[in-house]
């Protein structure tokens, strides 16, 4: 199994996230306008592909790390999940209370927010444990 | 937990990276263990004891540590 250095991993992860955002912006409007249900579903699910690839990449990367690095990843992911969950609940309640008209599209950003918060926390925790940012 | 990893490593003239390679962890993990910021798991503590040919209890003793 291939194991990347931290910077190689971050580059690949960021590229997959960029493809995800690009597909959201480019493909989703086409899916919305499509009349054929099969084409609509296929196009709508296309942005999920880079997300799944990113998750596989992350899991393979973490499996190759030593115990401290795995601990840092798991802790960062746990805190990020808690932060994003609480934020989405609070934001959802506030928006409902103020009668905001939202569609399911806002859910796209949950994974992005999770990845962003997790990435920041991982860097910070690594620095706290090892004094190194990389 | 207090440990003698840095002292034993320096006695042998090994770098943190060299010791890391011997016990299959990163240089940063060795640094975190030496500075007391991370207490190794039991299997890793045994690996370290084996590499230094020491008894585990002579390398690690209870004390303040950050986890």
The model's pLDDT over B11-48, given as tens digits with 9 standing for 90+, comes to: 999 999 999 999 999 999 999 999 999 999 999 999 99
- Cα maximum dimension of chain B: 28
- Judge contact between B48 and B59, C-beta under 8 A: yes
Distance separating alpha carbons of residues B7 and B39, to the nearest angstrom: 16
- Cα maximum dimension of chain A: 55
ipTM of the complex: 0.85
Burial of A113 (0-12, 13-18, 19+ CB in 10 A): middle
Distance separating alpha carbons of residues A23 and A27, to the nearest angstrom: 5
Spell out which residues of chain A touch residue B28, defining contact as CB-CB under 8 Å: 68-69, 126, 129-130, 132
Share of chain A above pLDDT 70, in %: 98
The alpha-carbon gap from B6 to the nearest alpha carbon of chain A, in Å, equals 15
| Amino acid A83: pLDDT | 96
The alpha-carbon gap from A49 to the nearest alpha carbon of chain B, in Å, equals 32
| Amino acid A111: pLDDT | 83
């Amino acid at each position: 199994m291939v194991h990347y250095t931290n910077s190689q991993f971050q580059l690949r992860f960021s590229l997959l996230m960029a493809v995800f955002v690009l597909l959201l912006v480019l493909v989703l409007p086409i899916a919305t306008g499509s009349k054929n249900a099969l084409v609509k579903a296929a196009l709508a699910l296309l942005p999920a592909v880079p997300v799944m690839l990113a998750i596989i990449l992350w899991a393979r990367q973490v499996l190759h790390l030593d115990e401290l690095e795995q601990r840092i990843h798991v802790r960062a992911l746990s805190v990020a999940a808690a932060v994003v969950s609480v934020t989405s609940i609070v934001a959802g309640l506030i928006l409902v209370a103020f009668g905001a008209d939202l569609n399911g599209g806002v859910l796209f950003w949950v994974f992005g927010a999770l990845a962003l918060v997790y990435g920041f926390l991982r860097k910070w925790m690594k620095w706290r444990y090892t004094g190194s940012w990389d | 937990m207090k440990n003698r990893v840095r002292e034993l490593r320096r006695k042998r003239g090994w770098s943190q990276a060299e010791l890391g390679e011997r016990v299959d962890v990163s240089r940063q993990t060795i640094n975190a263990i030496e500075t007391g910021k991370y207490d190794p798991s039991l299997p890793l503590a045994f690996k370290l004891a084996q590499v230094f040919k020491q008894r585990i209890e002579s390398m690690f003793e209870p004390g303040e540590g950050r986890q």
